[in-house]
């Protein structure tokens, strides 16, 4: 053991450690500076480009687009910087990066045959971002799941539904993306009234409630077009179904519809308009027999019906 330590050229080892350590420190500092500059300049640059591209679009849509692209771009730059840093630092520890890259290429080729779904996810994610199908903050329906987009990148989209459940959906599994909060939304209600009601009066009440809500200062900012009656949509088993439609700010349609339903119920009660509900009548065998006897007594024994 003494001979081993005696053979070490401590002065050369110290010089090598100092030189390599200094290079590694410079590389780490350079990567940190690049990431900080990217973080500082990336969002303003993307915002400038998006605002020029989306002239006339609502501010909320521009903000969601900028937030999504800046998030994905910064994360991509971070991964690339990390890989470049590793490739630059490893030779300082005597590791041949050329051979390492060649081996990684062969391994990547082998893995690639079994990672076709990953490639599909990444390509689909690129189309989602380029085509601006949705972004962070949107409410969407993807792969049969409806929720708020909490995160989106090249590989997957993360949704949180109303129950608070988080769904991670691979982008390659998304065949149809339905954006419920893009530019404008609709308050779309079906209101049922009894067949005995005067439809002209019902229409007047519904249109009045829609106008009053649109003029209400607490709701006017959320409503673009006052809810109004489109007409009779159909005839149900116990009700005449009337379609009511209004335009709202994106993401506000659900709150507007909840308040509108409440106001319609109050207005119908004041006007004496009935909202029908299902009735079930149970008739026992004894009641059927008694009902038959009553009919015979009313019509007489020799009468026919």
Give the pLDDT confidence of 156-188 residue by residue, as tens digits. 999 999 899 999 999 988 989 999 988 788 999
- Contact between residue 246 and residue 259 where contact means Cβ atoms under 8 Å apart: no
Fold held by 2-114: Helix Hairpins (1.10.287)
Where exactly does CATH 2.30.30.60 map onto the chain? 128-179
Where exactly does CATH 1.10.287.1260 map onto the chain? 2-114
- Contact between residue 49 and residue 85 where contact means Cβ atoms under 8 Å apart: no
> How far, in Å, CA of 149 to CA of 161, rounded?
9
Confidence of residue 121 (pLDDT cuts 50, 70, 90): confident
Compute how many other C-beta atoms are within 10 angstroms of the C-beta atom of residue 101: 11
pLDDT in tens, 220-272: 999 999 999 999 999 988 899 999 999 999 889 999 999 999 999 999 999 99
- Contact between residue 65 and residue 128 where contact means Cβ atoms under 8 Å apart: no
Enter the pTM of the model. Answer: 0.62
- Contact between residue 276 and residue 240 where contact means Cβ atoms under 8 Å apart: no
Q: If one looks up domain 128-179 in CATH, what number appears? A: 2.30.30.60
Fold held by 185-271: Alpha-Beta Plaits (3.30.70)
Averaged pLDDT of the chain: 80
Compute how many other C-beta atoms are within 10 angstroms of the C-beta atom of residue 248: 24
Where exactly does CATH 3.30.70.100 map onto the chain? 185-271
């Amino acid at each position: 053991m003494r001979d081993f330590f005696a053979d070490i050229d401590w002065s050369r080892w110290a010089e090598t450690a100092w030189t390599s350590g200094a290079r590694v420190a410079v590389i780490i500092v350079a990567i940190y500076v690049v990431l900080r500059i990217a973080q500082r300049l990336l969002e303003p640059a993307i915002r400038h480009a998006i605002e020029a591209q989306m002239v006339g679009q609502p501010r909320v849509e521009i903000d969601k687009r900028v937030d999504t692209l800046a998030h994905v771009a910064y994360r991509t730059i971070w991964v690339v910087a990390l890989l470049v840093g590793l490739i630059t630092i490893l030779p300082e520890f005597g590791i041949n990066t050329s051979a390492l890259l060649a081996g990684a290429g062969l391994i990547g080729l082998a893995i690639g045959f079994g990672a076709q779904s990953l490639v599909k996810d990444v390509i689909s994610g690129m189309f989602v971002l380029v085509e601006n199908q949705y972004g962070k903050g949107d409410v969407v329906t993807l792969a049969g799941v409806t929720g708020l987009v909490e995160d989106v990148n090249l590989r997957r989209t993360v949704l949180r539904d109303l129950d608070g459940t988080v769904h991670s959906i691979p982008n390659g599994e998304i065949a149809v993306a339905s954006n419920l909060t893009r530019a404008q939304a609709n308050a779309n209600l079906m209101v049922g009234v009894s067949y005995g009601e005067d439809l002209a009066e019902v229409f007047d009440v519904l249109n009045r409630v829609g106008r009053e809500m649109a003029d209400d200062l607490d709701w006017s900012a959320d409503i673009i077009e006052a809810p109004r009656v489109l007409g009779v949509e159909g005839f149900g088993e116990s009700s005449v179904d009337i379609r009511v439609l209004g335009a709202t700010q994106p993401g506000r349609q659900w709150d507007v519809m909840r308040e509108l339903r409440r106001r319609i119920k109050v207005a119908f009660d004041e006007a004496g308009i009935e909202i029908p509900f299902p009735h079930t009548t149970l008739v026992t065998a004894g009641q059927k027999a008694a009902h038959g006897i009553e009919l015979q007594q009313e019509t007489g024994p020799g009468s026919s019906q």
